[in-house]
Chain A
Amino acid sequence: MVSQIVKEENQYQAAFRQLQQRTTASDVAWFGRLRESAMDRFEQLGFPSVKEEEWKYTNVAPITKLTFDPALPAIDVDSLATSTELARFGYPEAQTSQLVFVNGALRSNLSSLAGVPAGVVAIDLVEAIADAKYGELIREQLARSADYNANAFTALNTACVSSGAFILIRKGTELESPLHLNFVSDPSAPNSVSFPRVLIISEENSRATVIESYAGTNDAAYFTNAVVEIVLKDGARLEHYKVQRESVEAYHVATTSADLGPNSSYDSTTINFGARLSRHDIHVKMAHEGAECWVDGLYVVSSDQHTDTHSVIDHQQPHCTSHQLYKGILDGKSRAVFNGKIFVRHGAQKTDAMQTNKNLLLSDEARVDTKPQLEILADDVKCAHGAAVGQLEEDELFYLETRGIHPELAKNLLTYGFAEEVIGKIKVDSIREQLDEAVLNRINARLEA
């Protein structure tokens, strides 16, 4: 087993060497060094095992066993996917404000930025690194929020970045349309791997909505290893939707890391529907006064899917507010993990933190491990947390049935209602509709009106 993992790690290393030779941005010395050092760290850490507390319930052995093609998402190899094939992964609100990535590489011919105002930079990350206008700024921020020393997958992603997005929303800029980062895996070769990397910097008093979505063109096994870093400056507001609808055979491991500036607001909603195995680490750091965040999510899994969310909301300074609502619906033999830590550091007075995780089990074989954790070192705070795992209530079902609704439909309706609390808060109509439909499809009901 150990030697197997080592072998696989070597494979990643071989791929890494190839990549180092190929990418032009490696010419930028600091970037080359960053990747070297991340690769070193990955080799030291190795893939995590279930013996580690943070990975107790999620066994990544299937990922390490993937004999993926070390020809990393080649920037120069065109994928087979056409724009019509990819159209179904877009959102109408972002038709003229989307970056499309195929197997991790930005495809400008499939992207459109016509609707993006001046004051917003949305370009390939690796190109931006080589660009004198942005190089220094990126150097300051890249790999600062998402610490690759602590997480092997973040290290691997950092070492293997070959494309991605650099989003800069300049001071005071307000985006009307959402900006869509559309990551599509088109695994024409089996077991392909992609390393999406995003850096978003929202400058002072800017306002924007970013959609980050993941999907696969077919049901093949592939591995997405994504890292998204977000920096909000003074008074910036960002609405962030992450919609993970990978193929049912895919592996998805992602880190979202956000640093909140003074009086900034970060409103994130993470939807996990797809992938055989998904793991999402979301880390929100509130190191300045007056910041507010919503860190919400919904996971809907069935058959033998496994989904794991590890969330850290770190209140380091006074007068910050955090809200967290994560809901899960599990069917079949699926399994979910929710680990939510809220830290309230010394001196973070007047912190207001609220965390809830609710799970609905539709089958006797599904299982949830939920662990909300509060660690409070300040004394003048308002904090509450709770977790629940339950089944549909007999009395609720009966109530619907007494109105003539078939038992199956009644179950579906209640399940739909359970998801609505999260879906209903989504402000981009087409995402909400897509998710309504996905939940309804999953539960096979139809609702309008």
Chain B
Amino acid sequence: MLEVRDLHASINGSPILKGIDLTIKKGEIHAIMGPNGSGKSTLAKVLAGHPAYEVTKGQVLYEGKNLLEMAPDERAREGVFMAFQYPIEVPGVSNAQFLRLAYNEKRKHLGEEELDPLEFKDLLKERAKIVEMDASFMTRSVNEGFSGGEKKRNEILQMAVLEPKLAILDETDSGLDIDALRIVAGGVNHLHNSENAVVLVTHYQRLLNYIVPHYVHVLAGGRIAREGGKELALELEEKGYDWITSSVTGSGSSAVSVI
């Protein structure tokens, strides 16, 4: 589904990603971990197409197509979704309006009939159940005045409505209380199937107890410093990142291809 090869990216001239290789197949769940500032969000945003980042080297294939040539909205309509680490507030536009618009843009793209407000209301009601979100959030402006945890939950509601093929969730677990974490993780598990893939960017093993990854990648200094199965996350929880970041210094190319 996704092939990232030797990806280099910089922002304002400073290189952040320094050669990322990553292969994701449908049906898989990947976790990306790593210290603060290692480039996890940068990778997520580059994959989503944020205009501030410049890809200086490497390539990304998504379902065989050159992802980097596609505009952000095109990527989204093709099934790429990123849940933001810091979701943006959109004052004056209700959650329901926004979701219907996004949903219909995708339907149009797929050559399907758009849903009218009433039809969409039913769909939204059903999807909101997945993340146990109250109807009152639908008439409120997108993320405006939402608590940190509510914003994160709202990101997963968007995922539930848009049903992406590739979902990259950037620290969706941060800021969630214990119950919310369980609900959101349950929602992601519910949405995950053999036809799509999920990438979880997280700092905490706890999330991975709920959503069990097939692979864990550790980013350090803009490179993938270590990869493994779900046990790697447990090891990190125990030992921290020091042993990885120190071992990566000096070694030229450290990327290991998965599978």
Residues of A within 8 A of B (CB): 394-396, 398-407, 409-410, 413-414, 416-421, 424, 447-449
B76–A403 CB distance below 8 A: yes
A402–B76 CB distance below 8 A: yes
B109–A420 CB distance below 8 A: no
Complex-state Cα separation, A403 to B96, whole angstroms: 13
Majority SS at the chain A contact face: helix
B88–A447 CB distance below 8 A: no
User: Measured between C-beta atoms, what is the minimum distance from B102 to chain A in Å?
Assistant: 4
Q: Which of B182-213 contact A (CB under 8 A)?
A: none
Other-chain residue from B87, B100, B109, B120 in contact with A399 (beta carbon distance below 8 A): B87
5 tightest A-B CB contacts, nearest first: A420-B92, A417-B92, A404-B76, A399-B88, A403-B102
Complex-state Cα separation, A406 to B105, whole angstroms: 8
Other-chain residue from A398, A406, A417 in contact with B51 (beta carbon distance below 8 A): A398
Q: Which of B104-147 contact A (CB under 8 A)?
A: 105-106, 109, 116-117, 120-121, 141
Complex-state Cα separation, A321 to B49, whole angstroms: 48
Identity of the chain B residue whose Cβ is nearest the Cβ of A420 in the assembled complex: B92
Residue from B48, B87, B91, B96 with most neighbouring chain A CB atoms (10 Å): B91
Q: Is B241 an interface residue (CB 8 A)?
A: no
User: Measured between C-beta atoms, what is the minimum distance from B124 to chain A in Å?
Assistant: 9
The interface residues of chain A lying within 8 Å CB-to-CB of B94 are 449
Complex-state Cα separation, A407 to B77, whole angstroms: 13
Other-chain residue from A395, A407, A417 in contact with B93 (beta carbon distance below 8 A): A417
Complex-state Cα separation, A447 to B93, whole angstroms: 9
Knowing A401-B73, A406-B105, say if A449 contacts B121 (CB, 8 Å).
yes
Knowing A449-B97, A449-B100, A449-B121, say if A402 contacts B92 (CB, 8 Å).
no
Q: Is B162 an interface residue (CB 8 A)?
A: yes
Q: Is B11 an interface residue (CB 8 A)?
A: no
A414–B90 CB distance below 8 A: yes
The interface residues of chain B lying within 8 Å CB-to-CB of A406 are 73, 105
User: Measured between C-beta atoms, what is the minimum distance from B38 to chain A in Å?
Assistant: 21
A-B contact pairs, 13 of them (CB 8 A): A396-B88, A398-B51, A399-B84, A399-B90, A402-B75, A403-B73, A403-B158, A405-B101, A407-B73, A414-B93, A416-B93, A420-B91, A449-B100
Q: Is B19 an interface residue (CB 8 A)?
A: no
Other-chain residue from B50, B98, B120 in contact with A398 (beta carbon distance below 8 A): B50
Complex-state Cα separation, A394 to B45, whole angstroms: 13
A402–B72 CB distance below 8 A: yes
